[in-house]
Structure 1
């Protein structure tokens, strides 16, 4: 009882009332009735004020602090609210807020560490798988040759070509990893120039025409010949973005399918849409296709080729241009990948030419 707010209030109220009564008893005009009334009033007022003060400003806040500390000790931070507490005259409320803020920060740090740990586990598993395939293939071809097949000229050339192809795949994977890492760390700088986006797409289509013709995939390019499609960006990296997206549209299309590319000018932007009528992407995979090594169909890894880093690189390049890649897809009907770049208007282009 003495440790509670009521017990402390009772003791302090009695002490105050006794002091008031003792003081009144020293006065000549005081009567026993007056002293008794003063004792009762001072006791009641003191008890109420002290009890309310201790209960709401001290004991309740101490209880909240203990409860918060218990959650921290048990590592149960999921129920801690990050809402800022209302202002209070209690000095303990500030301590409670500080502890609460610390607990929230710790929870966010723990969540980030857990997320990073999960990402590292997935990344190590993915990179191990991606590196294992070309290395094991190359080892198999070379050991077969060393075991005697090297004497057969026809077998020797066939196995050497296959080993070289596996090593080329390994080199592409390492190069893409280095590129992605350099982009994330800010080592690679963007070189901005004015160029015609339509010409870049024409170059990519010309490069991929042979691959598309093997599967009889038709690539169509729609744009308004009367409009300008000059943008201000890093030409080489935007070329890689278009190359990757159009290559994927061909690769994941069905035989005799169609890839439709369109350019549209808006107020201050040029929008690029790349549509295919291939297999499409399931909804549960749409949010993850821009992650490293994530593939919609794991069984198609080596059949379709690629390093699994193309879309991750595309995402980082466009984010570096303060743009975003968006995708919409329907399973069995195809996908549409879209992004936009700033449009350089004719007046601005003339000024840039004069400055140059």
Structure 2
């Protein structure tokens, strides 16, 4: 059965990722919708509780004054017609007059006689406040006229509330004769102080057990406001924020408004807080799971990529090995068979065999060095040295190798001496050879390669520059990864092992230096090896820095802080 291609394996990983994330997203959406609905229902239920509580308070006030007016103001029309005040006095003296500031009678006779009863003295009084009497007469006269016009009808109102003058709020009841004609009005002036002092507190406390538990009864803010939004009375709590629930009084004190706010979290608020917590936890779990899946996908993708890169490496190395071996074999067979008679041809074939052997040796050296690096057995023996003669030696050997290729190696070195650096000469040769070899291979149509030796504060720099095909920006951080090959066609056509720059980076790390690349596609590339200057002892000028050989792992994907991109 054929193996699946890496492309299909990557697609399978993404499908697995979607198969896990999609149900999780649907679950989060359903949970969000359910919690949102529950939150709305709970909020509505809480508002209903508050409204019912306020309704119970205003209903008790309404019932108190409605029953009191129906009972106390039920004056006998015959007694009023006979002017029998004694009978009326006895009835009002026996009545419960809490919440009543005044009682009064206004006859509908020509004289319109006004009689006022004081609940405190329990008797009619003659010394009456002028403003109060005027307010009573004005309201009663209008009411008598309205009742007389309506006549004795079943739908005619029996009680009327007059609150045009809020200092003298009145409840009036017409006194009708046998023919249904109004012969007078009985009324009461409400005692506002009693309402604030006794009636409302009692109504508030009576309704509490029905709608609130013991622990939450003192945690509500209840206020009563007048038409000017002034607070008439309220509970001790005044520090509660939030949206209030309001209700007006329906019978008396109709310009007053009850307002309630919950000090403790209402069920809707508790649900909202829990809702946010649940959603946060769900998103956190989903995020952790998504990150874990993404990391697993990344690791799997990286593993597959590394496997592909190793496969390409084996293919490239196999090709690189076969090419020089084949060339050496062909030239060797020609020389052994005596087919070459010319001395010039013998030298030519001998030079080709030498060049191919050197190429084969370099490739084997790279592979062996990489193997030692991977196993942690690669060591360096740095000594203080001047880079100029070391670099010149590498240049001389490299020029001999590229003599027949037509490439021109331009070397620029300073005339003055450079500071000494701690360097392993063999490692320097390997790194510089790899950079020069890459510069030649990727020079494209150009035949010039530049090598410069520079000095900067605290470091000595070797710079290798070509005028070739260049490296795309997105590839510049990856070229130092083991087995990596630039994916663009013009670069990928050049054969190689994919180990050269990885080895260069390892050497620079081991020497506490760094490698810097600057490149633009079509304009060439510049690689800089920056070596730190060796510290010297102030007394005798000897170097004191030593370098311990250790394994420096070559990265597989992460950018290295010692590698800079231009």
TM-score normalised over the length of structure 2: 0.43
Other structure's SS at 1:259 match = strand
Matched with 2:207 is 36
Per-residue CA deviations over 1:90-138 (Å, capped at 9, x if unaligned) read xxxxxxxxxx4x6535533432332232222232233234325645996
Mark the runs of 5 or more structure 1 residues left unpaired by the alignment: 19-29, 72-79, 81-99
Cα 1:59–1:224 shift into 2, 3 Å: same
- Asked if structure 1 preserves the Cα contact closer than 8 Å seen for 2:411 and 2:450, the reply is yes
In structure 2, C-alpha distance between the alignment counterparts of 1:340 and 1:61, rounded to whole Å = 54
- Asked if structure 1 preserves the Cα contact closer than 8 Å seen for 2:328 and 2:356, the reply is no
Matched with 1:297 is 491
Matched with 1:55 is 272
- Asked if structure 1 preserves the Cα contact closer than 8 Å seen for 2:413 and 2:452, the reply is yes
Other structure's SS at 2:380 match = coil
Matched with 1:245 is 435
Cα 1:263–1:349 shift into 2, 3 Å: farther
Q: Output aligned runs, 1:58-207, within 5 Å.
A: 58-67=274-283, 69=285, 71=286, 80=287, 100=288, 103-131=290-318, 134=321, 153-154=337-338, 173=363, 175-207=365-397
- Asked if structure 1 preserves the Cα contact closer than 8 Å seen for 2:513 and 2:532, the reply is no
Per-residue CA deviations over 1:282-341 (Å, capped at 9, x if unaligned) read 42554444342525534332xxxx544222211222133333322223555543221200
Query: How far has the Cα of 1:169 moved from its partner?
Result: 6.5
2:481 maps to 1:264 = no
- Asked if structure 1 preserves the Cα contact closer than 8 Å seen for 2:442 and 2:494, the reply is no
Matched with 2:519 is 329
Per-residue CA deviations over 1:27-71 (Å, capped at 9, x if unaligned) read xxx955522156557386377434323321x233223434555x5
Other structure's SS at 2:494 match = helix
Cα 1:178–1:330 shift into 2, 3 Å: same
Mark the runs of 5 or more structure 2 residues left unpaired by the alignment: 1-33, 54-200, 221-260, 340-345, 547-566
Cα 1:243–1:166 shift into 2, 3 Å: closer
In structure 1, C-alpha distance between the alignment counterparts of 2:202 and 2:476, rounded to whole Å = 89
- Return the structure number with greater strand share: 2
- Report which stretch shifted further, 118-127 or 330-339: 330-339
Higher relative contact order (CA 8 A, sep 6+): 1
Matched with 2:412 is 222
Cα 1:171–1:272 shift into 2, 3 Å: closer
Cα 1:53–1:171 shift into 2, 3 Å: farther
Among 265, 277, 281, the alignment partner of 2:470 is 281
In structure 1, C-alpha distance between the alignment counterparts of 2:459 and 2:325, rounded to whole Å = 47
Matched with 2:508 is 318
Cα 1:281–1:136 shift into 2, 3 Å: closer
- Asked if structure 2 preserves the Cα contact closer than 8 Å seen for 1:271 and 1:340, the reply is yes
Other structure's SS at 1:130 match = helix
In structure 1, C-alpha distance between the alignment counterparts of 2:202 and 2:400, rounded to whole Å = 116
In structure 2, C-alpha distance between the alignment counterparts of 1:351 and 1:252, rounded to whole Å = 43
- Asked if structure 1 preserves the Cα contact closer than 8 Å seen for 2:451 and 2:465, the reply is yes
Greater radius of gyration (CA): 2
Query: How far has the Cα of 1:257 moved from its partner?
Result: 3.7
Cα-Cα RMSD: 4.8
Other structure's SS at 1:297 match = helix
Query: How far has the Cα of 1:195 moved from its partner?
Result: 1.3
Query: How far has the Cα of 1:273 moved from its partner?
Result: 1.3
Query: How far has the Cα of 1:185 moved from its partner?
Result: 4.8
In structure 2, C-alpha distance between the alignment counterparts of 1:173 and 1:209, rounded to whole Å = 18
Query: How far has the Cα of 1:203 moved from its partner?
Result: 0.8
- Asked if structure 2 preserves the Cα contact closer than 8 Å seen for 1:268 and 1:342, the reply is yes
- Asked if structure 2 preserves the Cα contact closer than 8 Å seen for 1:184 and 1:316, the reply is no
- Asked if structure 2 preserves the Cα contact closer than 8 Å seen for 1:232 and 1:344, the reply is yes
Matched with 2:224 is none
Other structure's SS at 2:398 match = helix
Other structure's SS at 1:189 match = coil
In structure 1, C-alpha distance between the alignment counterparts of 2:362 and 2:369, rounded to whole Å = 10
Cα 1:154–1:297 shift into 2, 3 Å: farther
Matched with 1:4 is 38
Cα 1:195–1:349 shift into 2, 3 Å: farther
In structure 2, C-alpha distance between the alignment counterparts of 1:207 and 1:170, rounded to whole Å = 16
In structure 2, C-alpha distance between the alignment counterparts of 1:105 and 1:225, rounded to whole Å = 58
In structure 2, C-alpha distance between the alignment counterparts of 1:5 and 1:331, rounded to whole Å = 60
Cα 1:6–1:336 shift into 2, 3 Å: closer
Cα 1:170–1:68 shift into 2, 3 Å: farther
In structure 2, C-alpha distance between the alignment counterparts of 1:133 and 1:244, rounded to whole Å = 15
